Amino acid sequence: MARVLTPRAEDFPRWYQDLIAKAQLADNGPVRGTMVIRPTAYAVWERIQSEMDARIKDAGAENAYFPLFIPESYLTREAEHVEGFSPELAVVTHGGGKQLAEPVVVRPTSETVIGEFMAKWIDSYRDLPLLLNQWANVVRWEMRPRVFLRTSEFLWQEGHTAHATEDDARAYAKKILHEAYEDLMVRVLAMPVLVGRKTDRERFAGATSTFCLEGMMGDGKALQMGTSHELGQNFAKAFDIAFSSQSGAREHAWTTSWGTSTRMVGGLIMCHGDDSGLRVPPALAPIQAHVMIVKGGDGVAEAATGLRDELKAAGVRVGFDDRVDTPFGRRAVDAELKGYPIRVEVGPRDLAAGNVTVARRFDGSKTSVPLAGVVEAVTAALTADQQALHDQALAHREANTHEVRTLGEALEAAATGWARLPWSAVGVEGEAEANRSAVTVRCLIRADGTPPDSQNEPDLVAVLGRSY
């Protein structure tokens, strides 16, 4: 059979594009930099949404919705914020056939418009904390688009909160970072993300601190999977988000913002995909077990339908394929491309012996299993393969992360993976030098692996790499 995808080792970017096309995940949109998310990938995004939304609500935040159009004047109130986003803004100057009195910006992020309404809704310390989240689309005009990774319009969630104290704001930013984001990425996406702090050079425009989650992709590059920001009182002062304290004094609130996006789908592809296509972790997969009729025969359809119903009753998310008018080989390749964790193949030959074939996407193994043992075999394989995908990704990251002592060694190591070295050996000047070689400080961590509260803490470790 001719190969379906360009091998990853031969041309990783081409493999990525091949997989997106052949697995029917997305298409380029009609406007440069936009994308059409096809049902297979959108089902994955819906699962991510569901899992993330539950974690965000567990952290106490409530969902709301704010306008897509933002007055241009709102962005100019926080100088660093508008400067950071200016190159990416899409601005509407005409509407209804007339020039607008004030241009409006198509939402690149919502700190400014949400800040306007936080100022309206907060009056007393009793109104705090105010914990909001929205699921929305945003537009950032992208010069070098790549589907799922960098597109001019993408889908995301963005959280925005206001607190009475700096300590409360910092604690909440870290709560989201670990209990929502890290927990989802490790336990559901099976991605061993590195959690750290962005340098001052890399932090979000208008923030005082940015915490991040970095994943290593199959080619050794880094992908920023999510961020959580302390905004200090910058936006509170710009939008007068103030409250009466218990002592009666008027004080400005301390705010945070945090977000993850459809970029996670791209990360999933590049972290777990192989030369046969996508591999979706079982905990995330919209279809965990795909029951397939190999070809028709006495009792085959009945047996396949019965297995489907048994698996559903056991809590497994099941797909069903009885398209015997399409060659089985083609259908099996399609299932591999789309990354279904388990295939249960039901054909007359195996069935005559009371068996079916259970195929595992993780390692490509196939096992003949008695009909009575299918549910147990499938559920055990789902649990094992979820952990195996995480462990394989972690082993890849460890094998491609190099301990070095100098910036020169770090730049050399970043050609194929990540480099770890003392932040004191890099510093602000070294970071600028690395950037000229298309290498960035992905994050700073303490010796114990936790994110620091400042880049000036002693004995910090810098992780450098090339990124998407």
In this structure, the chain runs to a length of 468
Phi, psi of 97 (to 5 degrees): 80, 5
Domain shared by 264 and 293, yes or no = no
Structural domain includes residue 178: yes
Domain shared by 42 and 140, yes or no = yes
Structural domain includes residue 434: yes
State the average pLDDT over residues 224-253: 97
Domain shared by 115 and 223, yes or no = yes
- Output the CA torsion sign for 150, 152, 155, 157: positive
State the average pLDDT over residues 7-27: 98
Domain shared by 370 and 439, yes or no = no
Domain shared by 346 and 413, yes or no = no
Structural domain includes residue 388: no
Domain shared by 93 and 180, yes or no = yes
pLDDT at 391 over 90: yes
Q: Give the domain extent around 410.
A: 401-465
Domain shared by 328 and 294, yes or no = yes
Structural domain includes residue 377: yes
C-alpha to C-alpha distance for 191 and 394, rounded to whole angstroms: 8
pLDDT tier at 77 (50, 70, 90 boundaries)?
confident
Structural domain includes residue 127: yes
Domain shared by 107 and 69, yes or no = yes
Exposure on the CB side of residue 1, measured as CA atoms within 13 A: 8
Residue pair 374/323 in contact by the 8 Å Cβ criterion: no
Maximum CA extent, the chain? 82
Could you list the beta-strand ranges (E) of 262-310: 289-293
Q: Quick one: pLDDT at residue 80?
A: 78
DSSP assigned state of 176:
I
C-alpha to C-alpha distance for 353 and 366, rounded to whole angstroms: 16
Burial state string for 153-163 with b = 16 or more CB within 10 A and e = fewer than 16:
bbbbbbbbbbb
Burial state string for 331-361 with b = 16 or more CB within 10 A and e = fewer than 16:
bbbbbbbbbbbbbbbbbeebbeeebbbbbbb
Helix axes 374-399, 263-272, angle to 10 degrees: 90
Q: Enumerate residues 6+ apart whose C-beta is below 8 A from 460.
A: 422, 423, 424, 444, 445, 446, 452
Last residue of a domain, one of 219, 238, 272: 272
Could you list the beta-strand ranges (E) of 84-221: 91-95, 98-106, 130-139, 153-163, 194-197, 209-216
Phi, psi of 225 (to 5 degrees): -90, -20
Residue pair 90/127 in contact by the 8 Å Cβ criterion: no
Last residue of a domain, one of 315, 349, 381: 381
Q: How many other β-carbons are positioned within 10 Å of the β-carbon of residue 100?
A: 15
Domain count, the chain: 3
Give the CATH number, domain containing residue 174: 3.30.930.10
Q: Quick one: pLDDT at residue 1?
A: 46
State the average pLDDT over residues 35-39: 98
Percent of the chain with pLDDT over 90: 94
Domain shared by 364 and 435, yes or no = no
C-alpha to C-alpha distance for 363 and 359, rounded to whole angstroms: 9
Q: Quick one: pLDDT at residue 78?
A: 78
Q: How far is CA 34 from the centre of its chain?
A: 18
Domain shared by 354 and 451, yes or no = no
C-alpha to C-alpha distance for 468 and 448, rounded to whole angstroms: 27
What's the token pair of residue 269?
């592809």
CA proximity to 158, closest of 41, 52, 39: 52
The pLDDT mean for the chain works out to 96
Domain shared by 102 and 211, yes or no = yes
pLDDT at 84 over 80: no
Q: Which of 50-54, 77-81, 298-302, 392-396 has the lowest mean pLDDT?
A: 77-81
State the average pLDDT over residues 435-449: 97
Under DSSP, is residue 204 helix (H, G, I), strand (E, B) or coil?
coil
State the average pLDDT over residues 126-132: 98
State the average pLDDT over residues 369-390: 98
Domain shared by 24 and 156, yes or no = yes
pLDDT tens per residue, range 306-347:
999 999 999 999 999 999 999 999 999 999 999 999 999 999
Structural domain includes residue 198: yes
Residue pair 356/327 in contact by the 8 Å Cβ criterion: no
Give the CATH number, domain containing residue 306: 3.40.50.800
C-alpha to C-alpha distance for 53 and 156, rounded to whole angstroms: 11
Q: Quick one: pLDDT at residue 2?
A: 56
Structural domain includes residue 113: yes
CA proximity to 3, closest of 248, 275, 341: 275
Give the CATH number, domain containing residue 430: 3.30.110
State the average pLDDT over residues 140-148: 93
Q: Quick one: pLDDT at residue 132?
A: 98
Under DSSP, is residue 174 helix (H, G, I), strand (E, B) or coil?
helix
What's the token pair of residue 339?
């990354």
Structural domain includes residue 394: no
Statement: the pTM of the whole predicted model exceeds 0.85: yes
Phi, psi of 342 (to 5 degrees): -135, 140
